[in-house]
Amino acid sequence: MSGYSFELVNVFAEERFGGNPLAVFTDASGLDERVMQLLARQMNLSETVFLFPDGEAAARLRIFTPGQELPFAGHPTLGAAAVLHWRGELEARFQLRTKAGLIPISHSDGVYTLRANPPSARAAGLSRGQAAAMLGLDEEDIALEPVWVDTGSEQLLIRAASAGAVLRARPVHALLLRDATLRPGRSVAYLWHEDGGVATVRLFFEQQGAVLEDPGTGSACANLGGWCAFNGLGPLQWRVEQGAALARPNVLHLQVDAAGEILVGGRVLRIGRGEISL
C-alpha cells in the first residue's frame, strides 16, 4: 500500500476560514488519470491539484474537479504555488506547467500572483433577456450581452447592471444547461459588476444535475481581465470580491497593465495536511 500526502489550503483567503479550499497532492508520481479523478471526487472540493516533476517548471499540474479534468484553474495554480514556495526551495518568481501552458508565478508580501495567458473572446449569441432568464433576474439587471472569454479555461461572462443584481441571481438549471454549456459536462456562467475599483462576482456551474456556486475563481477573474483588455478598460487594478452568497469571503486582486497583460493574485493560508493510502 502506498501513501500520497496532501496539504489542505484556502486560496484567496483574507481570514482563516475564508477563501476557496484546495487539496494539493505534493507528489502524485505513480497516480493515473482514473485514480486522480477518484481522489478529486473523494475530496469533493471545487478542485484538487496533483503535482508532478517537470524539467522546466517548478512542477507540472493536473487539475481535477469532482467530475472532470480542467486545462487550467486559478485557485489550484496559486494554491500549488504557495505549497511549493513554502518549502523554501524557490525564488520569488517561478513557473508552473498546466495543460494550458506555462504559467508565470510571483510572490510578494504574502500574495501569490499568476500571469494569465493572452485572452480570446467570441460572441455567445445570447440576448440580455436570455441571460437574465437563465440567472433568475430581470432584463434590466443585465448590462450587456454575454460573451465567451478564454485565458486558459473558457467561461461565459455576463456583466450585471449592479452589485445587487449579482447577489440576487438564482440560476435556472435547465436554462444554464441550454445557454451556458461549453461542451457536455461543462456549463459555466460568471456574473460580475464593478464600481469604484471593486468588482462583485459570482460563478455558477452545473455538476451532477445541480447548479453549484464556486467560492473563488481565479480563471474567471483572469477572463474578466481579458474582457476588460478587449474593451479598453486597462490599465486597471481591481479588488474582486466573491463568495459572499456562500458566507465564504474570497478576495482576488486583478491587474491589467498598459500592454494588456493580466495578473491575478491572492493570499493562501495553510489549513492542514494528511495522507491517502492506496
Closest CA to 142 of 120, 163, 124, 158: 158
Distance of CA 162 to the CA centre of its chain: 22
Q: Which amino acid is at 59?
A: A
CA 70 from centroid of its chain's CA atoms? 10
The active-site residue out of 7, 33, 47, 69 is: 47
**How far is it, in rounded angstroms, from Cα 61 to Cα 71?**
9
Q: Answer yes or no: 154 catalytic.
A: no
CA 58 to chain CA centroid, Å, is 20
CA distance 169 to 165: 6
Contact (CB, 8 A) for 252 and 12: yes
Check the CA dihedral 207-208-210-215 and report its sign. Answer: negative
Catalytic residues: 47
